[in-house]
Chain A
Amino acid sequence: MIKENRKILVCCGTGCLANNSYDVYTQFLEKLKNTNIEVIPQVKATGCNGLCEKGPVVKILPDEISYFKVKAKDVDEIVLKTILKGEIIDRLLYFDLNDKKRIVSHKDANFYKHQHKIALRNIGEIDPKDIDDYKKRDGYKALHKALFEMTPDEVISQIEDSHLRGRGGAGFPTGNKWRTCSNYNNNPKYVVCNGDEGDPGAFMDRSIMEGDPNTVIEGMIICGYAINSNNGFLYIRDEYQLARKNMQIAIDSAKEHGFLGKNILGSGFDFELEIVRGGGAFVCGESSALMASIEGNVGEPRAKYIRSVEKGLWDKPTVLNNVETWANIPPIIINGAEWFKEIGTAKNSGTKVFSLVGKVKNTGLVEIPMGTTLRELVFDIGGGIIKNRPFKAVQTGGPSGGCIPAEHLDISLDFDSLGNIGSMMGSGGVIVLDDTTCMVDLARYYMEFLSEESCGKCTTCREGINTMLNILNNIILGKGKLEDIELLESLSETIREASLCGLGKTAPNPVMTTLKYFKNEYMDHIINKKCPAGVCKNLTSYSIDKEECIGCGACAKKCPTSAIIGEPKKPHIIEQDKCIKCGSCFSVCPTGAVKIGGALIESYNK
């Protein structure tokens, strides 16, 4: 049973590469070369498929068979059984933990079923290094249409009508930005792509740049044509080596094919594109710091009372959009604004890519229509919380976003709804938290991140975040006082109002939202000297409930300091002076007899 046009797509995104997917890829090439087969299937190394947790991912087309966690040693079996005989190898299929069944095509898996791919449309389907793959999937058709069938003004109107909003975080209408910039005649103008994705746990831009670099390039050329600019810069985070490599290959092949450079496709329009390596600082994702960095200066933001569409790069009018925004441009030009507006909600059209991580069963990249609820994202697509523990909150928008508690699980995921409850869309990071996460510790973690990543230019951000971090450290050590809450609130307000750039202005969000939704946890830490999640070691003690303990001894075996004693089948006891509060007993206990308590103040006082 041999099929024509068979394709084997091996995911070679960063996540899968780390799990040796390149070996799987080369193994396929090797094995097929030495196999007696009439039509050798095409083997392609593609970009990220999204479900990184279950990588390396191998897809076989047109059979629509998807294998997960494939190792190089599985290749022989796949070729012998699936490719030659059309048999399905059960153990490599996706296993749905909730429905308790194996699924043949990834398209039927809950993780993929609810998704709607626009920005990620080609990723996982094409070889990012092969421009022909992109062209086969309508690549550069939008550029052709814009150059030969539309005036620059029509291009901008199309983007305006689509109500596309910047996917980088603030959600500024992209069409407005282009329109304002096109109205300035201070040439040369610049087109810039922000690829300095730095939020912990976010990797959507990286995946696009690695997996479908040409769509970003096409979007930027179209913008250049629309606003009359002939130069573009791709600012790519220093750590994103593969993204830079694939992007450079794409730029070079676009030039060879006449999509970049002088007189593009004979239209008379010129556009050059250059990659700039990021300065290695989180703050360089802020537009004015990014531009300072491209100019060769220290990556410090400036006051933006004059917008960068008027005075941006080298004080010239500049359009800066994020990677995901650029990836949305070609489909909008091809399919029209009306098509785009039908997806999503009225004020938030289209889709958004989220990176779903944390204590959720399916982690990875997800592209869903705007307006999808948080519940659908976490429970339908994400499959719910690991070990079915209680859902506590999600952290959206990265370090400058906020926490959303369970009471807001039905919130619509769009720019406005998230902003209304004190969080933000940000670039789309979603970190799921369960009951073992301490919200005070979480806020402290983000303050620590931001205090290290603050550029240090303005007082409020540099000193303010650091002071808030000191206060939170005190609370975690059990030295918190009630007036600390007041001080945290007052400093949050000042940092939000008086900081120079977006990083500073949003920095207090993790503290402000945890104070708003989880104030009782702060109170527990400060008044009761107890960390309810058992995370803050100074405010935690473990004890065994005599009634519930069955004396199985599992805890005693796990305990690294031999602090648990007891005879078999009789209740065990934790010797507090030996306990290092690692929580091993708590997680291993089959009956839930290990209880988390607060700091043992009485025993300290004795």
Chain B
Amino acid sequence: MKVIINSKEYQGLPGETLMELAKRNNVDIPNLCHKDGIEGQGRCRLCMVEVREGKKTKIVSSCVYPIRDGLEVVTNSEKIIAIRKNIILLLLLKTPNNDYIKSLAEEYGVKAPDRYVDYKVKENCILCGLCVKACEKMGTSAISLINRGTTKKVSTPYDDPSKDCIGCGACAEVCPTNAITMTDKNRIRTIWNKEFKLVKCSVCGKTFTTDEALQFIESKLGKKEERICDSCRKKIISEKFKESFKYF
């Protein structure tokens, strides 16, 4: 499948979305709600591009647009830039104090009209939905998008501590705007109104995850795992490799 992006030809794979093709070929299409391994959502609308179909051009969101042979795409036309700027403006009005959105606004030269900005707003969430998707992929589905319109937000059921949350922190990890507060203090992790006991690595002694997260993994695996942090685990594996390659 041949796809032309900004006058350059690329080879597309069957079933790929435009965003996947672009990412694979290092073509930059700005986005906030897309992550590898998570299917496109079409929420943030920052990835809008212009595609040509016959004589008509139309504007589509590349993270959910399935590619076809002979597709022609423009990612940086005047129209697209104008749309992107307005979307960044809207996000800036929602989260005027968020560092990431502020840097994005600076990059695109977007300034919000002062009379419509409320600088007291502490909001950081842009409702990209990645946290919900990550939680779903973990198999926990402890958080979801609730309400509608401007009252939409990410939360646990009834904002109560969720029995399904294992405190793994995947949601905070994928968040593009650092909107999810997760604090690790005195061997206690606090996230989504719930406290978790942190577990120490049996090798280096640093805390690395929660007891609930490890139990969740063990129940999925059906066996006990040694409680070792990521970096120690990597060290051990590399030692094993060294050991085995010594004889070659």
Residues of A within 8 A of B (CB): 281, 283, 298, 302-303, 305-306, 451-460, 462-464, 466-467, 470-471, 474, 479, 481, 483, 487, 490-491, 493-494, 497-500
Contacts and interface: CB of A to CB of B under 8 A. Distances in A.
Contacts of A466: 149-150
What 4 pairs across the A-B complex have the smallest Cβ distances?
A456-B152, A463-B90, A494-B86, A303-B64
A454 B149 contact: yes
Please indicate which of the listed interface residues A456, A460, A490, A493 has the most CB atoms of chain B within 10 Å of its own CB.
A456
Contact of B61 (A303, A456, A471, A487): A303
Interface stretch (B38-46, B198-206, B217-225): B38-46
A302 B42 contact: yes
A456 B148 contact: yes
Contacts of A470: 116
Given A305-B60, A498-B45, A462 B150 contact: yes
A459 B61 CA distance: 12
A497 B84 CA distance: 11
12 contacts: A303-B65, A456-B145, A456-B148, A457-B42, A457-B43, A459-B44, A460-B86, A463-B90, A466-B150, A490-B86, A498-B61, A500-B42
A180 to B, nearest CB: 17
B64 A305 contact: yes
Given A281-B148, A494-B83, A456 B48 contact: no
A298 B148 CA distance: 10
A462 B152 contact: yes
A459 B148 contact: no
B148 A498 contact: no
Contact of B48 (A454, A455, A471, A497): A497
A455 B148 contact: yes
A474 B113 CA distance: 13
A128 to B, nearest CB: 33
A487 B61 CA distance: 23
B82 interface: yes
B43 to A, nearest CB: 6
Given A467-B93, A497-B83, A487 B113 contact: yes
A460 B87 CA distance: 6
Contact of A498 (B64, B65, B83, B91): B83
B150 A458 contact: no
A303 B45 CA distance: 11
Interface residues of B, number: 34
A494 B79 CA distance: 9
Interface string B62-99: 00111000000000000100110011001101100000
A561 B183 CA distance: 58
A457 B127 CA distance: 8
Interface in B120-160: 126-127, 144-145, 147-152
A454 B148 contact: yes
A459 B45 contact: yes
B45 A460 contact: yes
B175 to A, nearest CB: 16
Given A303-B42, A456-B147, A458-B43, A463 B61 contact: no
A499 B45 CA distance: 7
A264 B201 CA distance: 68
A467 B115 CA distance: 12
Contacts of A303: 42, 60-61, 64-65
Contacts of B66: 305-306
A200 B247 CA distance: 80
Given A454-B149, A455-B152, 7 more contacts: A456-B145, A456-B148, A456-B152, A459-B127, A463-B93, A497-B48, A497-B59
Given A303-B61, A457-B43, A463-B93, A498 B87 contact: yes
Given A460-B45, A470-B116, A305 B150 contact: no
Given A494-B83, A494-B87, A458 B148 contact: no
Interface in B9-63: 42-46, 48, 59-61
B90 A298 contact: no
Given A306-B66, A498-B48, A459 B43 contact: yes
B111 to A, nearest CB: 12
Contacts of B126: 459
A88 to B, nearest CB: 53
A283 B113 CA distance: 30
Nearest to B64: A303
B162 to A, nearest CB: 17
Nearest to B87: A459
Contacts of B150: 451, 454, 456, 462-463, 466
A453 to B, nearest CB: 7
Contact of A298 (B42, B43, B65, B145): B145
B148 A453 contact: yes
A306 B67 CA distance: 11
Contact of B148 (A283, A483, A491): A283
A456 B94 CA distance: 13
Contacts of B116: 467, 470-471
Contacts of A490: 82, 86
A182 to B, nearest CB: 23
Contacts of B86: 460, 464, 490-491, 494
Contacts of A474: 115
B192 to A, nearest CB: 19
Please indicate which of the listed interface residues B79, B86, B113 has the most CB atoms of chain A within 10 Å of its own CB.
B86
A504 to B, nearest CB: 9
Please indicate which of the listed interface residues A460, A479, A499 has the most CB atoms of chain B within 10 Å of its own CB.
A460
Contacts of B94: 463
A251 B243 CA distance: 74
